[in-house]
Amino acid sequence: MADKPKINLNRIKMPKQEPEIRAHNFDEVATGYTLEMAKEEAGRCIQCKKRNCVAGCPVNVNIPEFVMALRDGDMWGAVDQLKANNALPGICGRVCPQESQCEFVCTLGKKGAPIAIGRLERFVADWECDQSDKPKPQIAPSTGKKVAIVGSGPAGLTTAADLAKLGHQITLFEALHVAGGVLMYGIPEFRLPKGIVQGEVDYVKTLGVDVRLNSVIGKIDTIDELLADSYDAIFLGTGAGLPMFLGLPGENLNGIYSANEYLTRTNLMKAYLFPEYDTPIKKSRRVVVIGGGNVAMDSARCAMRLGAEEVYIVYRRSREELPARAEEVENAEEEGIIFKLLTNPKRFIGDENGWVTQMECLEMELGEPDDSGRRRPIVKEGSEFLIDVDTVVVALGTTPNPLIPSTTPGLDTTRKGTVVAEEETGKTVKDKVWAGGDLVTGAATVISAMGAGKRAAAAIDAYLKG
Q: Which residues bind ligand FAD (CB under 6 A)?
A: 95-97, 150-156, 173-176, 181-182, 186-187, 215-218, 237-239, 241, 263, 294-295, 298, 325, 401, 403-404, 437-439, 443-447, 449
Residue 69 near residue 38, CB atoms below 8 Å: no
Instruction: Specify burial of residue 137 (Cβ count, 10 A radius: 0-12, 13-18, 19+).
Output: middle
Between residues 62 and 152, which has the closer beta carbon with respect to ligand SF4? Answer: 62
Residue 26 CA to residue 331 CA, distance in Å, equals 14
- Alpha-carbon distances of 149 from 86, 203, 464, rounded to whole Å: 18, 16, 15
Q: How far is the CB of 130 from ligand FAD (least distance, A)?
A: 24
The one segment of 23-31, 100-108, 278-286, 399-407 that binds ligand SF4 by CB under 6 A: 100-108
Q: How far is the CB of 326 from ligand FAD (least distance, A)?
A: 11
Between residues 181 and 377, which has the closer beta carbon with respect to ligand FAD? Answer: 181
Considering CB distances under 5 to 8 angstroms, the limit depending on partner class, which of ligand SF4, ligand FAD, none binds residue 234?
none
DSSP secondary structure letters along 352-386? TTSBEEEEEEEEEEEEEE-TTSSEEEEE-TT--EE
Residue 314 CA to residue 292 CA, distance in Å, equals 8
Q: How far is the CB of 256 from ligand FAD (least distance, A)?
A: 18
SS3 label, residue 126: helix
107 binds ligand SF4 (CB under 6 A): yes
Interaction with ligand SF4 in 2-41: which residues (CB under 6 A)? Answer: none
48 binds ligand SF4 (CB under 6 A): yes
Considering CB distances under 5 to 8 angstroms, the limit depending on partner class, which of ligand SF4, ligand FAD, none binds residue 52?
ligand SF4
Nearest to 179 by CA among 197, 164, 163: 197
Residues 6+ away with beta carbon under 8 Å from 278: none
Between residues 69 and 433, which has the closer beta carbon with respect to ligand FAD? Answer: 433
Residues 6+ away with beta carbon under 8 Å from 215: 173, 174, 175
Considering CB distances under 5 to 8 angstroms, the limit depending on partner class, which of ligand FAD, ligand SF4, none binds residue 150?
ligand FAD
Between residues 97 and 114, which has the closer beta carbon with respect to ligand FAD? Answer: 97
Interaction with ligand SF4 in 63-92: which residues (CB under 6 A)? Answer: 63-64, 67
Near ligand SF4 by CB under 6 A: residue from 106, 236, 313, 356: 106
Q: How far is the CB of 74 from ligand SF4 (least distance, A)?
A: 16
Residues 6+ away with beta carbon under 8 Å from 297: 313, 324, 325, 328, 329, 331, 332, 337
Considering CB distances under 5 to 8 angstroms, the limit depending on partner class, which of ligand SF4, ligand FAD, none binds residue 199?
none
Q: How far is the CB of 455 from ligand FAD (least distance, A)?
A: 13
Residue 326's CB: how many other CB atoms inside 10 A? 11
Q: How far is the CB of 89 from ligand SF4 (least distance, A)?
A: 15
For 204, phi then psi, to 5°, come to -65, -35
Q: How far is the CB of 181 from ligand FAD (least distance, A)?
A: 2
Residue 103 near residue 109, CB atoms below 8 Å: yes
Q: How far is the CB of 178 from ligand FAD (least distance, A)?
A: 8
Residue 396's CB: how many other CB atoms inside 10 A? 16
The residue type at 324: A
Q: Which helix (H) or strand (E) holds 288?
A: strand 286-290
Near ligand SF4 by CB under 6 A: residue from 23, 53, 311, 337: 53
Nearest to 85 by CA among 451, 456, 459, 435: 451
Considering CB distances under 5 to 8 angstroms, the limit depending on partner class, which of ligand SF4, ligand FAD, none binds residue 113?
none
179 binds ligand SF4 (CB under 6 A): no
For 39, phi then psi, to 5°, come to -65, -40
Residue 322 CA to residue 320 CA, distance in Å, equals 6
Residue 6 CA to residue 3 CA, distance in Å, equals 8
Q: How far is the CB of 160 from ligand SF4 (least distance, A)?
A: 29
Between residues 327 and 363, which has the closer beta carbon with respect to ligand SF4? Answer: 327
Q: How far is the CB of 10 from ligand SF4 (least distance, A)?
A: 14
Between residues 108 and 125, which has the closer beta carbon with respect to ligand SF4? Answer: 108
Q: How far is the CB of 403 from ligand FAD (least distance, A)?
A: 5
Near ligand SF4 by CB under 6 A: residue from 25, 31, 34, 47: 47
**65-68 LR contacts (CB < 8 Å, sep 24+):** 66/120, 66/121, 66/124, 67/42, 67/115, 67/117, 67/120, 68/42
The one segment of 114-122, 142-150, 224-232, 247-255 that binds ligand SF4 by CB under 6 A: 114-122
Between residues 108 and 439, which has the closer beta carbon with respect to ligand SF4? Answer: 108
Torsion sign across C-alpha atoms 186, 343, 335, 33: negative
462 binds ligand SF4 (CB under 6 A): no
Strand pairing category for 356-369 and 375-379: antiparallel
116 binds ligand SF4 (CB under 6 A): no
Q: Which residues contact ligand SF4 by CB under 6 A?
A: 45-48, 51-53, 63-64, 67, 106-108, 114-115, 117
